[in-house]
Amino acid sequence: MTIVQSAVYEPLTEQKATALAVRLGLFRDGAPLLCREIGDGNLNLVFHIVDQETKQGIIIKQALPYAKVVGESWPLTLKRAVIESNALRTFASYVPQYVPNVYYSDESLAITVMEDLSHLQIARKGLIEGKTYPLLSRHIGEFIAKTAFYTSDFGMNQQEKKKLAQSFVNPELCKITEDLVFTDPFFDHDTNNFEDELRPDVEALWEDDRLRLEAAKLKRKFLTEADVLLHGDLHTGSIFASDDETKVIDPEFAFYGPIGFDLGQFFANLLLNALSRPESERRPLFDHIDQTWDVFTSVFSELWRTESVETYAATPGLLDEVLRQAFVDAVGFAGCEVIRRTIGLAHVADLDGIDQKVERLTAKRHALRLGRRLIVERAELAGTDGFRRLFVETER
Ligand SMILES: Nc1ncnc2c1ncn2[C@@H]1O[C@H](COP(=O)(O)OP(=O)(O)O)[C@@H](O)[C@H]1O
Ligand SMILES: CSC[C@H]1O[C@H](OP(=O)(O)O)[C@H](O)[C@@H]1O
């Protein structure tokens, strides 16, 4: 690959992104290139560049010095681009089948150049259309189990783990999660965003001392437990899927945190999709929750038994305790994510896209009751069947 001199930061345009791809030697000479900015996320620019003859494409993702969804009034570190490309490379060393190939990255331009995954579909979009993605949970369960185990004190040299954790210290992006997932939705904060009709339900949440205490405990875990390298934002909009392939993208929130966090985010986004469906079409979502947990526990347990580097790994009861705690935490984190995607700053199309206002408000009220009980009753769920039970009990 051609080496280009690193440049001073400037936001790319479609023209400049094309010129960069040519300078990097990513296309054959004279290829007729078409570039479009396709970013639909909250934070970054994403350029899709395709050779019109061969149909081969690449993606150039660039961080902006602010959060795109809010604008320049919310400055945001460009370092998130380095975190993202390093996380993709780290994950690729354990599960290359589940992440896009990174071709190039440049810290000063805050870009990651990666494999074009346009043959797949963003899982959130597909799930909203009613797709089921039969292998999604098998793949995500394995992705989480392997990345968690191999980056933990049980799966890697413990001195090396500390260095790796240092390289993923990600204070600004963690602060977004600390605020938007764990704090603001539980207070009358100006980042919150919900329909007027939901105000009585939301005010009831804000006055719920039991809920606030449990949300505080979950936030404390997120702040303090440097257990494994997390993706940090593993919602269904961060996953490309088809019937037989799954790729995880967008790990700019990666950091060392509690093992249950990615599981909880994924569970929550499956639940958010279930909340948008009629009862008769929800089953695949609950089956995905079961399957994610089953695959996660079996892959993680096998690695623990066969590859652990920690003397205490064989101590009877320890693995069970790690898995039990991971599950309880995941349930609580899922509850926080369900609530924040309903009344916080960043919503999801699964709920906001319900056209009929009455149905939409009904689904959102259901989400608030479900999220609350996931948080408050997380220790009593006793297995993934508990998600079904709470879902039904909170439907009314
Ligand atoms: N490797 C890729 N291949 C094809 N499209 C991509 C790729 N990465 C991102 N995209 C597109 O860009 C959108 C935004 O990307 P994402 O990484 O989620 O950005 P953000 O960090 O702003 O949320 C995705 O929803 C997808 O449509
Ligand atoms: C102001 S950031 C809000 C929200 O956006 C991120 O998601 P994404 O980059 O995938 O769109 C993340 O979930 C943040 O909490």
Q: What is the pLDDT of residues 149-206, one digit of tens each?
A: 999 999 999 999 999 999 999 999 999 999 999 999 999 999 999 999 999 999 999 9
What is the three-class DSSP state of 281?
helix
| 390 and 349 fall within a common domain | yes
| 72 and 174 fall within a common domain | no
CA dihedral 388, 144, 229, 307 (to 10 degrees): 130
| 285 and 223 fall within a common domain | yes
Instruction: Pick the last residue of a domain from 115, 142, 173.
Output: 115
| 111 and 232 fall within a common domain | no
For the chain, how far is it from start to end, CA to CA, in angstroms?
A: 59
Binding-site residues for substrate, please?
Answer: 233, 340
| 386 and 335 fall within a common domain | yes
Residues 6 or more apart in contact with residue 213 via CB below 8 angstroms: none
| 160 and 88 fall within a common domain | no
- Residue 174 beta carbon below 6 angstroms from any ligand 2 atom: no
Residue-level pLDDT at 6: 56
Residue-level pLDDT at 3: 44
Predicted confidence (pLDDT) at residue 280 exceeds the cutoff of 80: yes
Residue ranges making up the domain that contains 111? 14-115
Predicted confidence (pLDDT) at residue 339 exceeds the cutoff of 50: yes
- Residue 39 beta carbon below 6 angstroms from any ligand 1 atom: yes
For a mutational test of ligand 1's pocket, the pick from 79, 98, 249, 348, i.e. the residue with the most ligand atoms closer than 8 A to its C-beta, is: 249
| 34 and 170 fall within a common domain | no
Predicted confidence (pLDDT) at residue 396 exceeds the cutoff of 90: no
| 240 and 263 fall within a common domain | yes
Average pLDDT, the chain: 97
For a mutational test of ligand 1's pocket, the pick from 26, 46, 111, i.e. the residue with the most ligand atoms closer than 8 A to its C-beta, is: 46
Q: Is residue 126 part of a domain?
A: yes
Mean pLDDT across 267-288: 98
Tokens encoding 78: 């460009």
- Residue 198 beta carbon below 6 angstroms from any ligand 2 atom: no
- Residue 234 beta carbon below 6 angstroms from any ligand 2 atom: no
Q: Which atom of ligand 2 is nearest to the CA of 181?
A: 15
Supply the DSSP symbol for 194.
-
**Which CA distances in Å does 322 have to 85, 108, 203, 263, 317?**
29, 40, 36, 14, 9
| 229 and 308 fall within a common domain | yes
Predicted confidence (pLDDT) at residue 4 exceeds the cutoff of 70: no
Beta carbons within 10 angstroms of residue 189's beta carbon: 14
Closest CA relative to residue 349, chosen from 87, 94, 41: 41
Residue-level pLDDT at 7: 73
Beta carbons within 10 angstroms of residue 396's beta carbon: 8
Instruction: Pick the last residue of a domain from 91, 115, 139.
Output: 115
